[in-house]
Amino acid sequence: MRKFAFVAILALVAGVFTAPVVAGDDDGEKKFSISGEVRTRFEMQDNYDFIDIDGADFTDDSVNFWPYRVRLGVHGAFTKNVHGYIEIQNNGVFGGDYAGAYASANDPLLQFQRAGLVTSETQLYQGFIKIKEIGGRSGFLKIGRQEHIVGTELVLGDNDFYNGTVHDGFRAGWDAEDWMVDLFYYVNNEGAVSIPALVEEGPGGFPSDHGDFYITGATAEFGGFLENAKIIPYLIYARNNAAFSSPPYILLTSENFDLWTFGLNFSRPAPTVDDDGMFDWNFEIAGQSGTWDTPGSETDISTYISEGWFGFNFGDEFRSRVWAGYYYGSGTAEDDDDYGTWVPLFQDVHAYNRLGDLDLFNPFATNPMGLLTRIYGVTDFNIGYKGQFGSNMFMLAAHLLQTTEDVDVGGGSTETDIGTEIDLRYGFDYSQHLAFQAGFATLMAGNLADELFGSDNADNPMRFYLQARLRF
């Protein structure tokens, strides 16, 4: 049925493309437009568990697969102030269609889940109504399923390298030339009402928000005081009313939690072709406070995070740029009664080369070392180079990775040294619409892996991919 639906959508879009003219007003203004994307890549991943088990007869820790993503969108400008957008997405993996795990997690190893076959997934990725010029020229209201990006996506991002992140709800605010303020409310999980829950509430009772997860908050953006620089403050409240184990919720088996996230981002993006600035930067700091209710107890939540980088641009014909940066996410110490590990909400784990391109140590990871960083936090000091040679892009980055809190490795000893990751990227713009990219990443495992897995068993994770992306 899903495949039939997707074929029907393709036929509809083909019909639009083959129509004599694009629908428009009498004055020639285009009212409807079509956008889309076809993206696929070959991936090879090895030793993501840090243990070389290739010699065993029963298993192999090296995987090769072809994840893909197809999107088709229709934008309608029904009046000057009323717009609508519908975007359909199909994603899966060539051959096996191991789409369930790949769609639900950002841990690369889970992109290829050998536990069971499922069909490819077709769904509404975005679908919203946007009303502009409410209460003045700057006012807007956006209702429906939508992406929401804040700053460099440390807290709210779209996870574009994988299958995307969207929210169901509404967003309203004012968007002027040099400033923006908005309010939002999103329901990210609407739990079903169960019979046991009704019984607990008594005869005729109705549990309030049973099983729901939602976020609400406000963001702002101010510019105009420095060329291309922006200040972005934000305040977000998250509420989970039931135990549920889907990423990105790090309080994974909690019954209930209330969480306030507040932060500030100050940034100037790297120069483009039309921007000859010498320096770029990004600095962000955020904190979290709340409570986590478990059966018979209540745990206080107190976390913080900081991320930043500073770049120097040479202004040469290759648009050469070097940078130095850091990432500091708090963790929970062995003797800490409070929950101190940063809760990522909807962080984009791959954007801006965050924590390296292996994606092993992001807050969603389920590999052995990733599970440790989900408890003890992760710190990253990094340097890199990026150059643009005509249609060719080259990037080299190095990451020194550590757990934020000490990890007990036995014998009264502790370790923090995860290792050093090296990332390489090469991109080639074949045309305005078609781009290719290749990436290689490897981690030279440090003392922590040696102590946990034994110096004879610890092995270096590796990732290689080739990607083609067509957008129109």
Q: What is the 3-state secondary structure (H, E, C) of the chain?
A: CHHHHHHHHHHHHHHHHCCCCCCECCCCCECEEEEEEEEEEEEEEECCCCECCCCCCCCCCEEEECEEEEEEEEEEECCCCEEEEEEEEEEEECCCCCHHHHHHCCCHHHHCCCCCCCCCEEEEEEEEEEEECCCCCCEEEEEEEECCCCCCCCCECCCCCCCCCCEEEEEEEEECCCEEEEEEEEEEECCCCCHHHHHHHCCCCCCCCCCCEEEEEEEEEEECCCCCCEEEEEEEEEEECCCCCCCCCCCCCCCEEEEEEEEEEEEECCCCCCCCCCEEEEEEEEEEEEEEEECCEEEEEEEEEEEEEEEEECCCCCCCEEEEEEEEECCCCCCCCCECCCCCCECCCCHHHCCCCCCCCCCCCCCHHHHHHHHHCEEEEEEEEEEEECCEEEEEEEEEEEEEEEEEEECCEEEEEEEEEEEEEEEEECCCCEEEEEEEEEEEECHHHHHHHCCCCECCCEEEEEEEEEEC
Exposure string of 34-44, with b = 16+ CB inside 10 Å and e = fewer, is: eebbebbbebe
Ramachandran assignment for 315, one of left (phi > 0), alpha (psi -120 to 50 degrees), beta (any other): left
Q: Residue 202's CB: how many other CB atoms inside 10 A? A: 8
Answer yes or no: are the C-beta atoms of 417 and 448 closer than 8 Å.
Answer: yes
Q: What is the pLDDT of residue 132?
A: 92
d(CA 156, CA 122): 24
Closest residue by Cα to residue 191 from 208, 167, 170, 166: 208
> How large a percentage of the chain has pLDDT more than 90?
48
pLDDT, residue 369, reads 83
pLDDT (0 to 100) of residue 338: 86
Nearest alpha carbon to residue 51 among 39, 59, 61, 66 = 61
Q: What is the mean pLDDT of residues 261-268?
A: 96
Q: Which pLDDT value is given to residue 64?
A: 83
**Higher confidence at residue 186 or residue 137?**
186
| pLDDT tens-digit readout, 38-62 | 999 999 988 887 765 444 443 446 7
The pLDDT of residue 211: 64
Rounded Cα–Cα distance for residues 376 and 394 (Å): 33
Residue 106 has pLDDT above 70, yes or no: no
Q: Is the pLDDT of residue 302 over 80?
A: yes
What share of the chain has pLDDT > 70, as a percent?
A: 76
Q: Which of 128-132, 142-146, 345-349, 453-457 has the lowest mean pLDDT?
A: 453-457
Bridge partners of 223?
Answer: 230
Torsion, Cα of 368, 370, 375, 379 (10° steps): 130
How many angstroms separate the CA atoms of 331 and 342, rounded? 7
Asked if 303 contacts 342 with a C-beta cutoff of 8 angstroms, the reply is yes
Find how far residue 397's CA is from the centre of its chain. Answer: 20
Q: Specify the higher pLDDT residue, 136 or 164.
A: 164
**pLDDT score recorded for residue 334:** 84
Model confidence at 240: pLDDT above 70: yes
Tokens 């000893």 locate to 413
User: In this predicted structure, which of 169-183, 201-215, 220-234, 402-416 has the lowest mean pLDDT?
Assistant: 201-215
pLDDT of residue 266: 96
* Encoded tokens for 206: 């109705």
pTM of the model as a whole: 0.83
pLDDT at res. 21: 39
Higher pLDDT, 387 or 203: 387
Length of the chain: 472
Q: Could you give the CA distance from residue 343 to residue 375 in angstroms, rounded to a whole number?
A: 10
Per-residue pLDDT, averaged over 98-102, amounts to 42
pLDDT score of 219: 97
274 pLDDT above the threshold of 80: no
Mean pLDDT across the stretch 299-319? 91
Residue 294, pLDDT score: 66
d(CA 45, CA 465): 9
Confidence (pLDDT) at 112: 40
**46/273 Cα distance (integer angstroms):** 38
Instruction: Assess whether pLDDT exceeds 60 at residue 448.
Output: yes
- Structure confidence at residue 189 (pLDDT): 74
pLDDT tens column, 246-262:
333 444 445 578 899 99
d(CA 287, CA 330): 10
